[in-house]
């Protein structure tokens, strides 16, 4: 039986992981000036960070995905990676649109 606490903590973990991916992809978009570099780094580095976060979060959350490694990876890595990347790409203005003061 799934407890309400496990479901709430899973939704919170999903939101935190989505925020982490959105921030990481934004950071790579700003720092890497190449056309595909930020996409490559987002697709290679973000899943590793999400897997580490998922393992930490999975030790705190009551066993919701016991014996279902594929479901665990989908919820803690796949969905946040897709949502975070989509939020950064579609809903946040590109870094080129911001006017920054000139460096002295």
Host domain of residue 56: 4-92
Q: What pLDDT is stored for residue 35 in this prediction?
A: 80
Q: For the chain, what is the domain count?
A: 1
Tokens of 41: 């780094």
Q: State yes or no: pLDDT of 3 exceeds 90.
A: no
Report how far residue 81's alpha carbon sits from residue 73's, in angstroms, rounded to the nearest whole number: 11
Rounded CA-CA distance 48/52 in Å is: 6
> Helix or strand or coil: residue 63?
coil
Tens digit of pLDDT for each residue in 42-73?
889 999 999 999 888 888 887 777 778 788 88
- Looking at the chain, how many residues does it have? 104
Helix 4-31 × helix 79-86 angle, to 10°: 50
Q: Does residue 78 belong to any structural domain of this protein?
A: yes
Q: Is residue 18 in a domain? A: yes
């Amino acid at each position: 039986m799934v407890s309400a606490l496990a479901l709430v903590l899973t939704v919170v973990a999903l939101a935190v992981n989505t925020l982490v991916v959105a921030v990481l992809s934004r950071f790579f978009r700003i720092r890497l000036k190449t056309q595909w570099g930020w996409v490559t780094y987002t697709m290679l580095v973000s899943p590793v960070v999400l897997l580490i976060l998922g393992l930490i979060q999975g030790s705190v959350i009551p066993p919701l995905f016991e014996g279902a490694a594929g479901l665990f990876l989908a919820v803690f890595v796949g969905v946040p990676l897709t949502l975070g990347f989509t939020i950064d790409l579609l809903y946040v203005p590109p870094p080129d649109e911001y006017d920054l003061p000139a460096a002295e």
